[in-house]
């Protein structure tokens, strides 16, 4: 392609943003990263995503693409001359898309572990672990959800590895004990520079979570 302008509006601890960062890195796409302050949203974010006013937003030659799974699919379809994320087989493609949507349930149940307090923590922990085990069943004995290489579902899910430490601290459990296949998968993914350099550092994420809890009076 001719010269292209690629800009990513993002927020460093966002699992959704990490998806896009990994996808761009996998494709070898150079881009300008613009960190966003979600407490004081920038004019460019409000202009490029006026409906939801959320990150991540990919701006490709001045045109915005919003919602992280849409962005990853867009990256896969636009830069076709490089590695591909979605299977060519239609059934496998739509299975990957279905389970990528399911990842939202995992993210949501994980968020409840550190953002809610009260007597239902055991239920919240059980729901989260159950959602991980559901994905373990989909992973099976494959190294990646995409089979022999990283694929769409891997990219959709990988940002969660940065949050495991936070979930474990608040939920008082070990992910490696509860979902060993998921941890083995994370270790495979982290061997890839496109992943290791794109996801946030777990201790930094934990510090961020503590700050958010303090802000909302949960500490």
**All structural domains of the chain with their residue ranges:** 6-78, 90-215
CATH number for the domain running over 6-78: 3.40.30.10
Indicate the Cα dihedral angle 105, 159, 40, 33, nearest 10°: -140
Region 49-76: mean pLDDT is 98
Q: How confident is the model at residue 1 (pLDDT cuts 50, 70, 90)?
A: very low
CATH number for the domain running over 90-215: 1.20.1050.10
pLDDT at 2 over 60: no
User: For the whole model, what pTM was predicted?
Assistant: 0.95
Residue with tokens 């009260």: 118
- Cα dihedral 52, 54, 55, 61 sign: positive
């Amino acid at each position: 392609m001719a010269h292209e302008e690629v800009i990513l509006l993002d927020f460093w601890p966002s699992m959704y943003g990490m998806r896009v960062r990994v996808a761009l890195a996998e494709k070898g796409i150079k881009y300008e990263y613009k960190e966003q302050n979600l407490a004081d949203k920038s004019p460019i974010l409000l202009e490029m995503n006026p409906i939801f006013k959320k990150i991540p937003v990919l701006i490709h030659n001045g045109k915005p693409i919003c919602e992280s799974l849409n962005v990853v699919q867009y990256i896969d379809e636009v830069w076709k001359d490089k590695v591909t994320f979605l299977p060519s087989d239609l059934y496998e493609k739509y299975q990957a898309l279905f389970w990528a949507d399911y990842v939202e349930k995992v993210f949501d149940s994980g968020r409840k572990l550190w953002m809610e307090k009260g007597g239902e923590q055991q239920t919240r922990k059980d729901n989260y672990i159950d959602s991980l085990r559901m994905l373990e069943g989909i992973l099976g004995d494959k190294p990646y959800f995409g089979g022999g290489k990283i694929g769409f579902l891997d990219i959709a899910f990988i940002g969660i590895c940065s949050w495991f430490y936070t979930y474990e601290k608040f939920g008082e459990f070990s992910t490696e004990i509860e979902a060993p296949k998921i941890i083995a998968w994370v270790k495979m993914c982290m061997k890839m520079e496109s992943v290791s350099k794109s996801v946030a550092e777990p201790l930094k994420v934990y510090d961020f979570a503590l700050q958010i809890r303090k802000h909302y009076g949960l500490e």
